[in-house]
Amino acid sequence: MDDTRGRLTRDGIRIYEDADFAGMHKAGRLAAQILDDIIPMIEPGRTTEEIDAEITRMVEAAGAVSATIGYKGYQHASCISVNHVVCHGIPAAKVLKDGDILNVDVTVIVDGWYGDTSRMYVAGNLSRKAERLIQVTHDALMKGIEAAKPGNTFGDIGNAIQAYVEANRMSVVRDFCGHGLGRVFHAPPNVLHYGRAGTGPVLEEGMFFTIEPMVNLGRPETKVLADDWTAVTRDKSLSAQFEHSVGITADGADIFTLSPAGKFHPTY
């Protein structure tokens, strides 16, 4: 689209201007608000397509546009990934049952700016092992965000996430990554959730991107189902994901998708 603001680095990463942060905050806040507002719907007996229909309605009511409807043929306002689904779960007539864990991922466009965030929910009672997976995945994202500051590299972000996840004897998915965004949905760089400290492009003030680690209780390998979207763990182990959109400032990462209600983590 019309991503012509600021300038590009040697690695093709756009550097936005101070005034652009306000647009990203508005878009990010709406995406996060929608993830807050669906909390009461996440219950056993609900279908994932009912949740998606409500998200579609909320995006429209806000006067915003869904970034995912029509994106590469995708037809829904959210991805809803249940249990061993790693990401890109398609909302369907599938009924949630007690103990299911799910990621809901929403991307909205407000005044041309993209806000992309996802978080975990539980239907009914959370099992001990799912609780641990969700906690480690959430904390891994936060470790990645702590490493996101000028002078550090993208490898420092990936390394912080991978080291934390593996210290907890879980695995980081390699097959999907975070991404630059701004006035486009997916832009350079690929934000890997694993890697070596000190490698990759150096972070600079004005970069906008997502960090969205997917963590599996078992092996890291995934496969995409015949619908061409749904990614699942090959070993059928449980998977979790959290995603924030951030902008780099002089001091670190400015999180665009903070939960207005303070309910990003599901054990609120």
The dihedral formed by the CA atoms of 261, 265, 212 and 214, expressed in degrees to the nearest 10: -160
Provide the b/e sequence for 70-96 (b: ≥16 CB within 10 Å). Answer: eeeebebbbbbbbbbbbbbbbbeeeeb
- Shortest Cβ distance from residue 214 to ligand MF3 (Å)? 10
Residues 258, 191: Cα–Cα separation, whole Å: 19
- Shortest Cβ distance from residue 154 to ligand MF3 (Å)? 16
121-180 binders of ligand MF3 (CB under 6 A): none
Q: Which of 58, 232, 243, 255 binds ligand MF3 (CB under 6 A)?
A: 243
89-118 binders of ligand MF3 (CB under 6 A): 105, 107, 116
Q: Is 210 in the site for Co ion (CB under 5 A)?
A: yes
Q: Is 116 in the site for Co ion (CB under 5 A)?
A: yes
Q: Is 190 in the site for ligand MF3 (CB under 6 A)?
A: no
The number of residues in the chain equals 268
143-182 binders of Co ion (CB under 5 A): none
Beta-strand relationship, 244-248 and 253-255? antiparallel
Provide the b/e sequence for 133-149 (b: ≥16 CB within 10 Å). Answer: bbbbbbbbbbbbbebbb
Q: Is 20 in the site for ligand MF3 (CB under 6 A)?
A: no
Q: Is 193 in the site for ligand MF3 (CB under 6 A)?
A: no
Q: Is 79 in the site for ligand MF3 (CB under 6 A)?
A: yes
Task: Name the DSSP letter for residue 222.
Answer: E
Q: Is 74 in the site for ligand MF3 (CB under 6 A)?
A: yes
Residue number with CB closer to ligand MF3 (149 or 186): 186
96 makes contact, choosing from Co ion, ligand MF3, none, with CB < 5 to 8 Å by partner type, with: none
Q: Is 52 in the site for ligand MF3 (CB under 6 A)?
A: no
Q: Of 34-42, 53-61, 71-79, 167-175, which segment contacts ligand MF3 by CB under 6 A?
A: 71-79
Taking CA atoms, 112 is separated from 28, 168, 172, in Å, by 12, 39, 32
Counting Cβ atoms within 10 Å, is residue 228 exposed (0-12), middle (13-18) or buried (19+)? exposed
φ, ψ for residue 28, nearest 5 deg? -60, -40
Binding site for ligand MF3 (CB under 6 A): 68, 71-72, 74, 79, 88, 105, 107, 116, 210, 212, 229, 243
